[in-house]
Amino acid sequence: MCVHAITLHRTPNAMNRVVKALLRRHQTITGYVLVLPALIYMLFFVGYPIIDNFRLSLLDVNVMNVSHGEQPYVGLQNYRDLFEEGILVTSIVNTMIYTAACIVLQFIIGLAFALLFSKSFRFAQRLRGFIMISWLLPATITAMMYKFMFSGDGVVNELMTQLHLGSHVDWLVTPVPAMITLIIANTWIGIPFNMILLTTGLTTIPKDIYESASIDGANALQKFVRLTLPLLKPAIYSLLVLGFIYTFKVFELVLIATHGGPVNATQMMSTYAYKLSFELFKFSHGAAAANVMFVILFMVGVLYLWMVRREEVSSS
Amino acid sequence: MKKRYSAWLLPIVGIAVTILFLFPLYWMIVTSLKPEGEIFRTPITWYPHTIDIKSYTEQLSGSSYNIWNGFKNSAIIALGSLAIATVLAIPASYGLGRYKFPGSGVFLLLFLVTQMLPSSLILTPLFILFKHLGLIGPTYWSTILANATIGIPFSVVTLRTYFAGLPKELEESAKIDGCGTIRTFFRIMLPIAMPGVVVVMVFSFLFAWGDLIYGMTFISKESMRPITAGIYTFLGFQSTSWNNTMAFGTVSIIPVVLIFIFVQRYIVSGLTNGAVKG
* A157 lies in some domain: yes
**A141 and A22 share a domain?**
no
Rounded mean pLDDT, A87-100 = 94
Residue A254 lies in a domain: yes
Together in a domain, A143 and A208: yes
Please report, rounded to a whole number, the percentage of residues in chain A having pLDDT higher than 90.
Answer: 42
Q: Is residue A250 located within the same domain as residue A109?
A: yes
CB neighbours of residue A29 within 10 Å: 12
Is the CB of residue A137 less than 8 Å away from at least one CB of chain B?
yes
pLDDT value for B74: 94
Which residues in chain B are contacts of A57 at CB distance < 8 A?
none
List, in order, residues 6 or more apart from B188 with CB less than 8 Å away. B170, B171, B174, B179
Q: What is the pLDDT along chain B (278 residues), one digit of tens a residue?
A: 455 666 788 889 999 999 999 999 999 999 988 888 888 877 788 888 888 877 777 655 445 567 788 889 999 999 999 999 999 999 999 999 888 888 888 998 888 888 888 899 999 999 999 998 988 889 999 999 999 999 999 999 889 988 888 888 877 888 788 777 788 888 888 888 888 898 889 889 999 999 999 999 999 888 899 999 988 888 876 566 788 888 888 988 988 888 877 777 676 665 555 444 33
Q: What are phi and psi of A169, to 5 degrees?
A: -120, 135
Q: Are B33 and B56 in contact (CB under 8 A)?
A: no
* Residue A130 within a domain: yes
Give the residue from A65, A196, A223, A176 showing the smallest Cα distance to A131.
A196
Is residue A311 in a domain?
A: yes
Are residues A146 and A266 both part of a single domain?
Answer: yes
Between A87-117 and A124-131, two packed helices, what is the crossing angle to 10 degrees? 170
- Mark yes or no for CB contact B104/A30 under 8 Å: no
A248 touches chain B (CB under 8 A): yes
Query: Which domains does chain B show, CATH number per domain?
Result: 6-52 (no CATH), 67-277 (1.10.3720.10)
Closest partner CB to A252 (pick from B10, B42, B213)? B213
Q: Which residues have C-beta within 8 Å of that of residue B54, sequence separation ≥ 6?
A: B35, B243
The CATH number assigned to the domain holding A131 equals: 1.10.3720.10
Residue A64 lies in a domain: no
Same domain, A92 and A26: no
For residue A75, pLDDT beyond 80 = yes
Give me the DSSP letters along B32-88: HHS-HHHHT-SSPPSS-SS---HHHHSPPTTSS--HHHHHHHHHHHHHHHHHHHHHH
At residue A315, the pLDDT reads: 57
Same domain for A17 and A99, yes or no, is no
C-alpha closest to that of B115 among A30, A101, A305, A255: A305
The residue of chain A nearest to residue B248, with distances taken between CA atoms, is A141
Q: Which of B89, B124, B246 sits opposite A53 (nearest CB)?
A: B124
What is d(CA A106, CA B261) in angstroms, rounded to the nearest whole number?
25
Instruction: Assess if residue A58 is contained within a domain.
Output: no
Query: What value of ipTM does the predicted structure carry?
Result: 0.87
Regarding whether A258 and A151 lie in a shared domain, the answer is yes
Instruction: Spell out the residues 6+ positions from residue B231 whose beta carbon is closer than 8 angstroms to its own.
Output: A140, A141, A144, A256, B245, B248, B249, B252
Chain A window 184-223: which residues touch B at a Cβ cutoff of 8 Å? 188, 191, 193, 196-197, 200
Q: Could you tell me if A113 and A16 lie in one domain?
A: no
Task: Please tell me if residue B40 touches chain A, with a CB cutoff of 8 Å.
Answer: yes
Q: Give the closest residue to A182 by CA, choosing from A59, A294, A97.
A: A97
Is the domain of A21 the same as that of A130? no
Distance CA A204, CA A122 (A): 22
pLDDT tens per residue, range A150-171: 988 888 988 888 888 878 888 8
> Exposed, middle or buried, A21 (CB in 10 Å: 0-12/13-18/19+)?
exposed
pLDDT of residue B278: 33
Query: A127 and A236 share a domain?
Result: yes
Residue A54 falls inside a structural domain: no
pLDDT at A91 over 80: yes
Q: Which residue has the higher pLDDT, A25 or B237?
A: A25
Q: Which domain holds residue A34?
A: 2-40
Bond before B153 cis per omega within 30 degrees? no
Distance from CA of A277 to the nearest CA of B (A): 7
Average pLDDT, chain A: 86
Instruction: Return the H-helix or E-strand segment holding B236.
Output: none
Give me the residues paired with residue A282 across strands.
A62
If contacts are CB pairs under 8 Å, which of residues 62-81 in chain B contact chain A? none
- Separation CA A138–CA A189 (nearest Å): 10
Task: Choose from A126, A134, A145 for mutation: most chain B CBs within 10 A.
Answer: A145
DSSP conformation class of B253: T
Task: Flag whether pLDDT at A8 surpasses 70.
Answer: no
pTM: 0.87
Same domain, A32 and A123: no
What digits encode the pLDDT tens for the residues A256-289? 999 987 889 999 999 999 999 999 999 999 999 9
Residue of A nearest to B160 (CA): A35
Asked if omega into A262 is within 30° of 0 (cis), the reply is yes
User: A160 and A36: one domain?
Assistant: no
Domain count of the fold of chain A: 2
Q: Quick one: B219 exposed, middle or buried, by C-beta within 10 A (0-12, 13-18, 19+)?
A: buried
Rg of chain A's alpha carbons, rounded to an integer? Answer: 27
Q: Which of residues 31-70 of A touch B (CB under 8 A)?
A: 31-35, 37-39, 41-43, 45-50, 52-53, 56, 61, 66-67
Is position A138 within any domain? yes
pLDDT digits (tens, 9 = 90+) for A189-242: 999 999 988 988 888 888 888 888 888 888 888 888 888 888 888 788 878 888
E strand or H helix that includes residue B221:
none
C-beta atoms of B152 and A117 within 8 A: no
